[in-house]
Structure 1
Amino acid sequence: MNRSQFLRLSATGAVAFAFRPRWALGAINFDFQGIPAGLRPYLQTPRPDSIWVSWWSDADTQTYVDFGTSAAALTQTVSGTVNVMGTNYCYHSVRLTGLQPNTYYYYRARTENVTSEIFRFRTPKAIGTATGRFRVLVIGDNQIIDPEQRRYERLVERAKKKVEDLYGVPIEEAIDLVLLPGDQVDVGTLEHYRHLHFKFCGWISPSVPIMTTIGNHETYSDPGLANYKAVFNYDDLSCLGVTSPDPEVYYAYQLANIAFVHASSEHTTTAQTTWVQNLVNAANAAPGLDWMISLCHRPYQAEQYIGDISSWMRNTAMPVFAQTQKHVLNIGAHHHLYARGQTRQWPVYHIISGGSAWDQYWGQSNESNYDDVQKTIANWAWQLIEFDLDAKTMDVRCFAEANVRFPTATRWSYNSRLIDQFSRKLNVTATPQKPALTNTFSAPVTLPVQLTSTPYQTTSGEAMNSTWFQVAADAAFTNLKIDQIRDVENMYGDTGSPLYEPVNTNAGVDILKFTIATSGLPNGTYQARVRHRDTNTLWSPWSDVVSFTVTGSVTADPKLTLQKSVYPPTENFSVAFENGAGHVKDWIGIYKKGQSPGSSNSTTWSYLNNSTTAPATAIRNGSLNFTYDLPVGEWFAAFFTADGYTELAPRVSFYVGNMVTMTPGEDAYDEGETARINFTNSPAGTKDWIGIFKVGTNPAPNVAAKWSYAAAASGFRDFTGLAKGYYYAVFMVNDGYQEISTRVPFSVGSLISSVSMESAQVSQGSDFTVHFSDGPGIAKDWIGIFKEGETPGVNVLTAYLYFAGAASGSVNFHLPDLPPGNYFAAMFTNDSYTEVSNRVTFTVLGKPPLEFEQASLEGNQMRLRWKSESGKTYRIQKSTGLTTGWTDVRTVTATGSSHEELVPVDRATQPTCFFRVTDE
């Protein structure tokens, strides 16, 4: 949610217009015309035999839809319900049933006071249909409700016009479904649902059904989603016989032979994960289903505001979705731009469809170039997905309309520019052929070294898209030193002013070659391999492994690494080792915490070759797999040399046992209230304990705010006397600091965070700093500036800055055009309008007028001298009257604290003349 445009809630009326598409006009008219006037119904929840029709009124009590298969014969009438949700918020709903699949119907909606024009829609194809075309329009975040810019309304209008131009037919003949991947509103109020989402979708909502996904903004001002559940009719949806346990929060349905799965990134429960697994199991067994598309508002990956993604989708849900080859695309939003990538190991595309919401652009946030994102393009855009059900192909095109970095007057100048296109073909099974590394290493090498792959080859006809180079310290490739995917095209960043064009960072790069830079690897022996990926997202087999030894590089310290810090009982675990001493009897031992190697025997051990027999040659880098069933408890791995007990590297501690599950009794406690922490699955040790820590600190001696032993398998502990603040609770074992639970956050008190400024007065045009402390530590916490007396989330936002989730720090505002007046600054959390700090008020003082030191007439010249600022530009202007227009005389740049100019005066033609100097 970017807020550099500062927009007010509004409920303005629409303007009627007539759009004539290509077949009538000959070219697209991209000029913004506004949604036609009149009642604009909203279609949702399409089924082959039914559809919902909804609309709003101020106070009407009757609800009817007349429909039929001809515009001239609306022979059937269905009455519906009206839900009076508030003053001037009457929500009308009608479900049309008994419809025929793949059939056009004409209809009109009416009440006692208003009747819509006649619209037309097409019912979906019969479930399981695998012939013909199926097209989906995808448009991301709506959010902004603004009577002037009307961003989302413009985006929808342009998408409609382009679609009708592409196919030469009205939109209901071209598009089967519209998908919205979340943040349909900025806050979940009735005003936003009616006057933002329903209104701005009015270009297409009477003709094509729309299906939404829950985003974080739906929960703002409506955490229980009461309004969302009231206006969207999803409660009876199911897919492949699988019903959601929370059907109005996450839901799935099948149209033709495609399953659409709307997950919620805001409700990542075990129940939702189980539901996804059940859907995947059913999809694999369903002969009438070929495709699965998932939606989740927070994306799978993002290169701006890094880390602001759905960890549930990335780490939990996507591995489940990947169990079926039918899952080919994940659609996210949340970031207000377009991005596209491919998951590293699975043939699945993922995109960000960010719509046209709050500003987001390069250089605004923390950024990183990830190898599972091929393109990030900071444009306002929409996507068109086309399935050829016969050929089993999916083609996706992305069309850009605007760039927020352009001036307002030229912002919407892309005119549906095609910025990306990709496809997925299910009927192509051939993968790229297995490549090989052409390198031969007969002796140790010095860096840099270039690894070179054989050329890309395939029988599928697909072009090469990616290469994947890996270099590891072990033959099993568990201890990776280089792990790099590169695509033939990688869009990351832009060219800056004035065009802000995307930059292909791989332009001119031969991705079949990878150079290991000087000091890119320490001395040692390594394994290398490569594979190729085609434009259908399919990988080749890995090449045969090539081994090489690096010499003359840096000497790195020996090191042990474990993949986890907690292992369930009986689970095998791997210990990676690096930079051994080079002795054939270097070894790794596993000991109980508290044991002293040499004085105590190891519980299990191995030489570096995974054997109790020393290798013929020394091994320096690799990994060992331990299969010994260690008892529950605390352990450490140690690295020894020469069959002795001289340790080469710091020990690595870990725990064997189940993770403890902890939950706070409440997410937020009042100041002075007892905070309860529940726990289950504990090892019940007499010195196991729960620690309460301030956000921003880590467990260590004398750091815990509160603590308590927890010598029980399950139960709770109450903590009293916690000061106002943001905390987390964590479970640790045996009086130590080995964490065996996830950290669970909670808060005590309200307006916990603090903001301050050095001065309550700011000179107009000057930068100023806002300091903050005791923040919640969430990535999209932000400082907002509002005018005095305004309400965040309702009134105009003047300025904002994120601060990357720091618990304390400062942000510097550069607002040269901030008008004089009274303002306040406050902290808000998690990309919302939830205020978590005090307000600090300040006044912006108007610029004092320039002070003249001399203004005198000298013959036909006027001598002007004024107090100036060195290096600043000033404009001298004149006028024949104080109330008439001013014309420029000259522009000058001051070189000191006082500047003087002589300007001519034509006393004969201008007996009266006024002069002024401005620095504007």
Structure 2
Amino acid sequence: MNRAQFLRLSALGTFGLATRGLAFPSGYTGIPSGIRPYLQTPRPDSMWVSWFSDNAPSGLIEWGSSPGALVNSVAADLDVLGSGYNYHAGRITGLSPNSYYYYRVSNGSTVSEVFRFRTPPPAGTKTGRMRVLVMGDNQIIAENRYEKLIACAKAKIESLYNKPIEEVIDFILMPGDQVDVGTLDHYRNLHFKQCGLISPNIPIMTTIGNHETYYDTGMNLYGRIFRYDDINYGGVTSPGGEKYYSYQLANIAFVHTSSEHTGAEQKGWVRSLVDVLKTDSTTDLCISVCHRPYQAEQYVGDISGWFRSDIMPIFAETEKHVMNIGAHHHLYARGQTREWPIYHIISGGTAWDQYWGQSTELDMDDVQKTIANWAWQLMDFDLAARRMDVTCYSEANVRLPAATRWNYDSRMVDSFHRQLGLALPSQPSLTNTFSAPVTLPLSLQCSAFATSTAETLNSTWFQVASDAAFTSLKVDKIRDFENLYGDTGAPLYEPVDINAGINLLQFPLAANSLPNGSYYTRVRHRDSNAAWSPWSASKTFEVTGSVVADPKITLAKKVYAYTENFSVVYENGPGNAKDWIGIYKKGQSPGPVASTSWQYVSGKSGTLNFTTDLAAGQEWFAAFFANDGYTEVAPRVPFYVGSTPTLTTDKTAYAEGETVNVTFANAPGSTKDWIGIYKVGQTPGVGGVTSTAYQYTPAASGTKSFANLPKGYYYAVYLVNDGYFEISQRVAFSVGSQISSVSMASNQVPSGQDFTVNFSNGPGIPKDYLGIFKQGETPGVDVLTAYLYFDGKTNGSATFHLPNLAPGNYFVAMYTNDSYTEVSNRYNFTVVAPTPLKLEQSSIEGNQMRLRFSAQPGKNYTVQRSVDLQTWQPVRTVVPSSSSHEELVDFDRSINERCFFRILLQE
């Protein structure tokens, strides 16, 4: 099936069959009955124990150093979260590090069995091992997928080490979406229940994902259930409480960020953590967690841009940060950041089905493998060696038939490591000799991989640029020795290595891939420890006999601060000795007006550095001129010199009729600078687009109020000098509810027939989707019947192919950002049962027979004729447009007094 055919939930029977066909590990008998406590927040001297009960008024925790001597007790606090949702939590204190303890919990006469856990070693411990089990999105409450994943992981780990799992695993790290919606039902009956096989023995540390925020926008339930607000790393207290937090176990710092609560406050907290981490002698390694991943090859763009651009560079300031763990996409993926020796993975658990061909997809060179399986990961730390080994085990593939889906038997699909203190790979060299201009195709070649360690070659990074500083890159490609992307399709859907057979030490430049001109090239090697070698010495070469490219110039940014130096990269120039680049104010005419600054170029391609101060609060442009004259040989490049304003709104969602307040700061303050309000999907000044509203901003800071905006999805942006040059980030907000709209051509859909849903005024987010529910059901409480993503378009249509959609009454609506937040009207429609094929009337009119029959509109029917009821001849194919169809067919009465007709539905 393609993504237009993907069914999300069980109303069509897909998951009902799957549940009956899924196989647990051999010998598994299910989660034992009775109270199943949930451990969290492990410390060398304490452990939190929590559980749910229906109506018990109080709880007790009894514990000790042996199962027969539970001589200590702790009264568990009672938090009545809701009717039938009594939450008990108590902290066992006074424990010794790296020790086993036994405990049981009780509510009155209801007593659990005795369980065992192990405390972690003291902070700063640099000997021994620590092992962490990583398992992503739980999310599905209607079946026990996650329970199966846990059972498979437990069986495999205990088989590998021949020990009970609590003797192997120190804690479980979950990177978000532990629930589908943040309701009591999902916390108790999804997360706590399906983790019940191991939660009494191994503590679990969770992360906020987008689904935790649905129905719990203030994170009230999350904060009451999980106890993270009194732990920290390095004495740096989190201003976000349980929303984002950190802790240290042994010599490893763990940092759980929130991709759902981004902003300056959390960024400042990370900044403080990393400052401590750099000099803290008690920590050697650091693991970060962010639910939305650093990079993804499916649903391209659905990542945490905030973590990628704002947070990862801070973590990268110290080599101690060795890996970032994400989730959100329901599969496994692993890559390395382009610049730094840092791994990033997606641990997507067993949530909603995700597979190849379902979304916008792109092979990313900072992702080494994407495997659309349900999987889990084991992190094994050698504390003395400052080494992390990670192994990924796959359990199931949603594309396989339900009866054989869970047949991977903990198949190892990935392993990698990071060890600090090892030498970098040796600097490679380019072995090409360029004594004369070259004609493409050409293969760039480098020396063999060399290192003083036992590491092997993982990646090469080839660059080709038009300038010696490598700022104007024409080739910028990292290739790994393996690159798992896509699958083989039916019947096995195995991963495909699209780099199989390539020579990493060569990089092919195809014919016409570079225009004629001069270029610079270099290469570096990355080893299996994720470490890069130094760049090779660069070499220059000239391409001839290729395509002729137009000259162009580029700047790195569009806004520069006053007195900030800037560079202009020029390419494919005429090559005259006195070609030059000039800097002018917007509106000036080169020639009659002298340039404010200028320089001659050197050769056809290169970089010029400008240090001349340019007046602030002005738009400028760079222009490329030929041969000491004023003939421009390339398009101008506009830029702005001045401060970069920040915009904020007091809300992200406004009621219709409510005033929108946009606050600006650090603005240039020119009289004709302005804030424009535009609909999402619009570009200021392009195609005659005008703002919905605007106001001038003749001050450095302030607030502008916009009243009576029609309902819609908008953004505010700062533009300068009465024009359309944007110098701020766009700030999104919405006005009104049910802004989007959905419709269908008909509210009657014949069973088995494709149907199209039109939509308009969408929020423009990659994982907006059209969801179908049965009429009377509640989104987020009742399960989806079917859904379709539509690539974040604001207007368009999507076609459902649901051949097994049962007759009945349904509604379709738009939901935003993979949530159950309903942003459109509901369009009610009915799936009608197939009209039985029935001959309603026939009559003879001369040499014609008039047939009227009940039919399914749009289906193909064949009318056949026979004179002996043995041999049938086709007369014609008809496609009825209504449920009652008439057809005139010819027959020759002189051949036989009898003539028979029949009508067949073509399936």
TM over 0.5: same fold? yes
Match of 2:101 among 94, 105, 111: 105
Please report how far the alpha carbon of residue 720 of structure 1 lies from its aligned counterpart in structure 2 after TM superposition: 2.3
User: 2:491: which partner in 1?
Assistant: 498
| Higher mean displacement: 532-541 or 434-443 | 434-443
Matched, 1:812 2:799: yes
Please report how far the alpha carbon of residue 334 of structure 1 lies from its aligned counterpart in structure 2 after TM superposition: 0.2
Letter in 1 for 2:544: T
Matched, 1:437 2:433: no
Matched position secondary structure for 1:165: helix
Please report how far the alpha carbon of residue 672 of structure 1 lies from its aligned counterpart in structure 2 after TM superposition: 2.1
Output the CA distance in 2 between the equivalents of 1:602 and 1:45.
65
User: 1:628: which partner in 2?
Assistant: 612
Output the CA distance in 2 between the equivalents of 1:89 and 1:629.
67
User: 1:248: which partner in 2?
Assistant: 242
- Give the conservation status (yes or no) of the 8 Å contact 2:673–2:719: yes
Please report how far the alpha carbon of residue 597 of structure 1 lies from its aligned counterpart in structure 2 after TM superposition: 1.8
User: 2:571: which partner in 1?
Assistant: 578
User: 2:726: which partner in 1?
Assistant: 739
Matched position secondary structure for 1:242: coil
- Give the conservation status (yes or no) of the 8 Å contact 2:259–2:307: yes
Please report how far the alpha carbon of residue 246 of structure 1 lies from its aligned counterpart in structure 2 after TM superposition: 1.3
User: 1:646: which partner in 2?
Assistant: 631
User: 1:90: which partner in 2?
Assistant: 86
Matched position secondary structure for 2:648: strand
Letter in 2 for 1:834: T
| Higher mean displacement: 664-673 or 816-825 | 664-673
Q: 1:415 to 1:896 in 2, by over 3 A?
A: farther
Unaligned runs of 5+ in 1: 9-26, 610-618, 855-865, 875-891, 900-915
Output the CA distance in 2 between the equivalents of 1:627 and 1:262.
43
Output the CA distance in 1 between the equivalents of 2:373 and 2:642.
49
Output the CA distance in 1 between the equivalents of 2:109 and 2:630.
91
User: 2:132: which partner in 1?
Assistant: 136
Q: 1:673 to 1:721 in 2, by over 3 A?
A: same
Output the CA distance in 1 between the equivalents of 2:338 and 2:26.
39
Per-residue deviation, residues 371-427 of structure 1 (Å, max 9, x unmatched)? 000000000000000011122221100001110111211111111110101111113
User: 1:750: which partner in 2?
Assistant: 737
Please report how far the alpha carbon of residue 894 of structure 1 lies from its aligned counterpart in structure 2 after TM superposition: 9.5
Output the CA distance in 1 between the equivalents of 2:59 and 2:615.
68
Match of 2:330 among 311, 336, 340: 336
Q: 1:402 to 1:75 in 2, by over 3 A?
A: same
Please report how far the alpha carbon of residue 288 of structure 1 lies from its aligned counterpart in structure 2 after TM superposition: 1.3
Matched, 1:361 2:358: no
Matched, 1:724 2:727: no
Matched position secondary structure for 2:110: coil
Output the CA distance in 2 between the equivalents of 1:754 and 1:447.
52
Per-residue deviation, residues 689-715 of structure 1 (Å, max 9, x unmatched)? 111111111111551111111111111
User: 1:221: which partner in 2?
Assistant: 215
| Higher mean displacement: 763-772 or 500-509 | 763-772
Matched position secondary structure for 1:462: coil
- Give the conservation status (yes or no) of the 8 Å contact 1:60–1:113: no
User: 1:602: which partner in 2?
Assistant: 595
| Higher mean displacement: 599-608 or 389-398 | 599-608
Q: How does 1:100-179 map to 2 (within 5 A)?
A: 100-146=96-142, 149-179=143-173
Runs of 4+ residues deviating >3 angstroms = 27-33, 850-854, 866-874, 892-899, 916-920
User: 1:776: which partner in 2?
Assistant: 763
| Identical amino acids, percent of aligned pairs | 62
Letter in 2 for 1:65: I
Matched position secondary structure for 2:726: coil
Output the CA distance in 2 between the equivalents of 1:357 and 1:893.
53
How many aligned positions are there? Answer: 849
Output the CA distance in 2 between the equivalents of 1:131 and 1:466.
32
User: 2:7: which partner in 1?
Assistant: 4
- Give the conservation status (yes or no) of the 8 Å contact 1:868–1:894: no
Please report how far the alpha carbon of residue 873 of structure 1 lies from its aligned counterpart in structure 2 after TM superposition: 12
Matched, 1:44 2:40: yes
Matched, 1:786 2:773: yes
Output the CA distance in 2 between the equivalents of 1:601 and 1:236.
65
- Give the conservation status (yes or no) of the 8 Å contact 1:873–1:894: no
User: 2:846: which partner in 1?
Assistant: none
Match of 2:346 among 352, 362, 379: 352
Output the CA distance in 2 between the equivalents of 1:419 and 1:450.
32
Matched, 1:372 2:375: no
Q: 1:753 to 1:867 in 2, by over 3 A?
A: closer
Matched, 1:836 2:820: no
Please report how far the alpha carbon of residue 871 of structure 1 lies from its aligned counterpart in structure 2 after TM superposition: 11
Q: How does 1:48-63 map to 2 (within 5 A)?
A: 48-63=44-59
Please report how far the alpha carbon of residue 312 of structure 1 lies from its aligned counterpart in structure 2 after TM superposition: 1.1
Letter in 2 for 1:421: S
Match of 1:396 among 362, 368, 390: 390
Please report how far the alpha carbon of residue 568 of structure 1 lies from its aligned counterpart in structure 2 after TM superposition: 2.1
| Higher mean displacement: 549-558 or 569-578 | 569-578
User: 1:858: which partner in 2?
Assistant: none
Output the CA distance in 2 between the equivalents of 1:868 and 1:549.
71
Q: 1:508 to 1:208 in 2, by over 3 A?
A: same
- Give the conservation status (yes or no) of the 8 Å contact 2:64–2:103: yes
- Give the conservation status (yes or no) of the 8 Å contact 1:462–1:536: yes
Please report how far the alpha carbon of residue 5 of structure 1 lies from its aligned counterpart in structure 2 after TM superposition: 3.4
Per-residue deviation, residues 68-90 of structure 1 (Å, max 9, x unmatched)? 11011011011121000100011
Q: How does 1:814-893 map to 2 (within 5 A)?
A: 814-851=801-838
- Give the conservation status (yes or no) of the 8 Å contact 2:859–2:906: no
- CA root-mean-square deviation: 2.5
Q: 1:493 to 1:873 in 2, by over 3 A?
A: farther
Please report how far the alpha carbon of residue 32 of structure 1 lies from its aligned counterpart in structure 2 after TM superposition: 5.5
Please report how far the alpha carbon of residue 456 of structure 1 lies from its aligned counterpart in structure 2 after TM superposition: 1.1
Please report how far the alpha carbon of residue 918 of structure 1 lies from its aligned counterpart in structure 2 after TM superposition: 9.1
User: 1:878: which partner in 2?
Assistant: none
Q: 1:730 to 1:867 in 2, by over 3 A?
A: closer
Please report how far the alpha carbon of residue 31 of structure 1 lies from its aligned counterpart in structure 2 after TM superposition: 6.4
- Give the conservation status (yes or no) of the 8 Å contact 1:867–1:898: no
Matched, 1:212 2:206: yes
- Give the conservation status (yes or no) of the 8 Å contact 2:461–2:476: yes
Output the CA distance in 1 between the equivalents of 2:278 and 2:716.
41
Please report how far the alpha carbon of residue 445 of structure 1 lies from its aligned counterpart in structure 2 after TM superposition: 1.3
- Give the conservation status (yes or no) of the 8 Å contact 2:860–2:905: no
Matched position secondary structure for 2:429: coil
Matched, 1:514 2:510: no
Matched position secondary structure for 1:217: helix
Q: 1:917 to 1:381 in 2, by over 3 A?
A: farther
Please report how far the alpha carbon of residue 30 of structure 1 lies from its aligned counterpart in structure 2 after TM superposition: 3.8
Per-residue deviation, residues 410-457 of structure 1 (Å, max 9, x unmatched)? 1111111101011111132x2211111111111111111111111111
Per-residue deviation, residues 140-189 of structure 1 (Å, max 9, x unmatched)? 0011101xx31111111111111111111011100001000000111100
User: 2:667: which partner in 1?
Assistant: 682
Output the CA distance in 2 between the equivalents of 1:471 and 1:756.
50
Output the CA distance in 2 between the equivalents of 1:274 and 1:396.
30
Unaligned runs of 5+ in 2: 12-22, 842-852, 863-871, 880-902
User: 2:179: which partner in 1?
Assistant: 185
Q: How does 1:235-634 map to 2 (within 5 A)?
A: 235-428=229-422, 430-609=423-602, 619-633=603-617, 634=619
Please report how far the alpha carbon of residue 337 of structure 1 lies from its aligned counterpart in structure 2 after TM superposition: 0.2
Matched position secondary structure for 1:797: coil
Q: TM-score, normalised by structure 2?
A: 0.91
Output the CA distance in 1 between the equivalents of 2:679 and 2:24.
58
| Higher mean displacement: 561-570 or 727-736 | 561-570
Q: 1:82 to 1:893 in 2, by over 3 A?
A: farther
Q: 1:403 to 1:713 in 2, by over 3 A?
A: same
Letter in 1 for 2:165: I
